Amino acid sequence: MKLDLLYEVQAPKPWPDKPYPYNQREAEQAAWFEAIEQIKLADTLGFGTVWVVEHHFRIERSHMPVNDLFLAALSQVTENIRLGFGVTLTPHKFLHPVRTAEKVAAVDLLSRGRVEWGTGRSISHEQKAFGVDPVASRDSWRDAIESVVAMWELEKFSWDSPFMKFPEFPSYDGDSRSITPKPYQDPHPPAWMAAVSPDSVELAGRLGLGMLSLTIMQTVDQLAERIKIYRQASANCTDPITRVKNNKVAPYTLVHCAEDMDKASSYGLWESVGWWYDHLAQFIIDWELPPNMPQEEIDKAFPRLRETQAGKVDPTFFNDQDMIIVGDPEQCLEKIKRYEQIGCDSVICYMQFGQLTHPQIMESIETLGTKVIPKLEG
């Protein structure tokens, strides 16, 4: 059982009291460089992988649209921790598959083979901006993965599909080109799929992709049911979509480990949990739900949203249900073992959230690394 990290690189308001864009610049600079220091510490403490998202247009929640650049920088200041694309937005109109192949392989080369390649289709907020057709996005995602793997293994690459004609015109060398660089890992980095719904986890297993999931929007028991679906599909996978069959499960959730929980409560831990849930749910309501969706349906989808916004729900509810992992080392260990029991290979710890400060996050990472990880490995 491994503990991983997840970084969206949040920059919550209030930002510094400066005119725009200097307030945003200063907030982002702090968030980026603090994240690097946190990951450098985790590298020395036995964490398995750091997963870095690719998100666009998500002020406060995520200031990380270029995970390839961030991971490349991390490759030069870490030695042990694996570097996860969490994920590349893979359908063609987000980025040409040649560029995806190049950037993932480049980080794998720079890190001497430490890359995990997560793939995903994103949501309509990003799809609309890049002109991605939601109806065709799954087929486009699959075609892109297949073409990227071919680029990594063929000396000369060409492709002809409904989504990509490569090259698009006659060239001096006929109808193919060489793709550089090749991945450091042989034959290529393990591939994953962001999957939450029963249909998507079944597809991930059937295609031989690892399962990246979450818990805070679903209970651990619901996650356990998803894992059963995934394991069955994975067991029946005889023709994986890539050359490396990956049957691992890694959900993410909010994690904060503190020796003194009274102290943690006093510096706003639970308020930060509430901020995270409120911000995520409101984002989905604003951007993902159908226009004019009846309030009763919104309440059904997010049963605690209005109460949380009104300050009527204690965020410790999520911890009581083990939907998040918060507590002292023994409490965190007990919760993590529950995830292990339902079939998780690792838990991805989302530790930089809300108004938690850099020193508080560093202390939590160190506590997990010194008090919890040795017991998991033992």
What are the tens digits of pLDDT across the range 57-105?
Answer: 999 999 999 999 999 999 999 999 999 999 999 999 999 999 999 999 9
- For range 236-252, the mean pLDDT: 96
Name the residue among 183, 185, 49 with its Cα closest to residue 118.
Answer: 49
- Over range 168-192, report the average pLDDT: 83
Mean pLDDT over the full length of the chain: 92
Average pLDDT for 140-152: 98
Q: What is the pLDDT of residue 215?
A: 85
- 117, β-bridge pairs: 85, 191
- Cβ burial of 24 (10 Å; 0-12, 13-18, 19+) is middle
pLDDT for 375 equals 96
Assign 16 a pLDDT band (cuts: 50, 70, 90). very high
pLDDT value at residue 352: 97
Phi and psi of 22, rounded to 5°?
Answer: -65, -30
Q: Which range among 83-87, 109-113, 284-288, 305-309 shows the weakest confidence by mean pLDDT?
A: 305-309
Alpha-carbon torsion, ordered 8, 90, 2, 44, to 10 deg: -60
Degrees (nearest 5) of the Cα angle 211, 212, 215?
115
Q: Residue 288: its pLDDT value, please? A: 65
Amino acid 176: pLDDT: 80
Phi/psi at 37 (5° precision): -65, -40
Q: What is the pLDDT of residues 287-298, one digit of tens each?
A: 666 667 787 877
